[in-house]
Amino acid sequence: MKQSDLHDLLIKDFDYYKEGKNAQYIPALSQVDPKQLGIALYNLQANELQTCGIPEKSANVRFAIESISKVPVLLLAINDNGLDGVFSHVDAEPTGFSFNSLLNMQIEQRKYPLNPFVNQGAIVVNSLLKGKNSDERFARILDFMKEIFNDNDITLNEEVYHSESKTGDINRSIAYYMKGNGIWNGDVEDVLDSYFKQCSVNVNAIDLANLGALLANGGVAPWNGKRIVSEESATIVKSLMLTAGLYDESGDFSMRVGVPTKSGVGGGLMSAVPGKYGIGIFSPAIDKPGNSVAGMKLLHDVVQELNIDIFA
Ligand code: GLU
């Protein structure tokens, strides 16, 4: 896309941040400046990365990955255990409840968590990783993220991690509920520690565009031609992103925007448009379900402009 056209879309959508609010339940996220909108577009056909931001360098700003971490951790768990080894512990059904709801499990008396992108499922998936404790699992997550995001500077945001850990009582309830009901049999505090850490890794919009491009490219990193995950894993993850990537707003988003996307409450959006584009967006103010308000508007407009809605 012409740089000036992309910039015009950012100008058009920037003010939507006013309709959202930074995540308040994690104190470190509430402090981030909401007046930021950055995008990175990885065009697979041209093998080119384009960025744009208001302020200008917003695509390079680092922010907490939060729920988008559920994608690389799921891919690593599949690499470790195979597809059956993961999906014999977690289902792949969408949810009409919030990402940290306990109600769905109670109402439906589920045997397994609904899907890997709600917190119940993500906690179970983290526990499936090879590694005998939180330190070992998290060291592997960080190495894998560096590879899959093509970014050696990825680090843990200690402030967000301490904030998550200190205020993570709902996640503790979810984990103890699963354990108490025989849904899962892990070491709650140890697994939550690596779960809080996976959510607290700092990334930028360029990293997210790279992961989107790798998924759009069937699991092969387009920047060096190396296969990092199987084609089948990439396909499955894209399907899950479409049905469950934006929490209980996934259906509406898929109808309006039509590209597989995963969001995080840090304000990130990561999209994979099969065979065409990886897209990363950052704007910290989110709506009630937990998705970046200006980010979703911008993604909608970019998808329309490039004519890449997968259903169109
Ligand atoms: N660390 C957050 C939590 O578990 C992740 C939520 C998100 O991005 O949806 O509550």
Whether 176 is catalytic: no
Q: Say yes or no: CB of residue 254 within 6 Å of ligand 1.
A: no
Choosing from 265, 293, 302, 303, the catalytic residue is 265
Choosing from 16, 112, 247, 277, the catalytic residue is 247
The pTM for the full model equals 0.97
| CA distance linking residue 49 with residue 44, whole number of Å | 9
Determine the pLDDT at residue 106.
79
Among residues 199, 181, 169, 210, the alpha carbon closest in space to that of 265 is found at 199
Determine the pLDDT at residue 101.
85
Whether 177 is catalytic: no
Atom of ligand 1 nearest to the CA of 64: 8
For 168-292, where are the alpha helices, taking DSSP H only? Answer: 169-180, 188-199, 205-216, 231-244, 250-256
Determine the pLDDT at residue 261.
98
Determine the pLDDT at residue 13.
98
Whether 161 is catalytic: no
Q: Say yes or no: CB of residue 268 within 6 Å of ligand 1.
A: no
CA of 199 to the centre of ligand 1 (A): 7
CA of 26 to the centre of ligand 1 (A): 9
Determine the pLDDT at residue 98.
85
CA of 265 to the centre of ligand 1 (A): 6
pLDDT by residue for the chain (312 residues), tens only, comes to: 999 999 999 999 999 999 999 999 889 999 999 999 999 999 999 999 999 999 999 999 999 999 999 999 999 999 999 999 999 999 999 988 888 888 877 777 788 999 999 999 999 999 999 999 999 999 999 999 999 999 999 999 999 999 999 999 999 999 999 999 989 999 999 999 999 999 999 999 999 999 999 999 999 999 999 999 999 999 999 999 999 999 999 999 999 999 999 999 999 999 999 999 999 999 999 999 999 999 999 999 999 999 999 999
For 69-217, where are the alpha helices, taking DSSP H only? Answer: 70-87, 103-108, 119-128, 134-148, 158-167, 169-180, 188-199, 205-216
Determine the pLDDT at residue 29.
93
Whether 203 is catalytic: no
CA of 66 to the centre of ligand 1 (A): 5
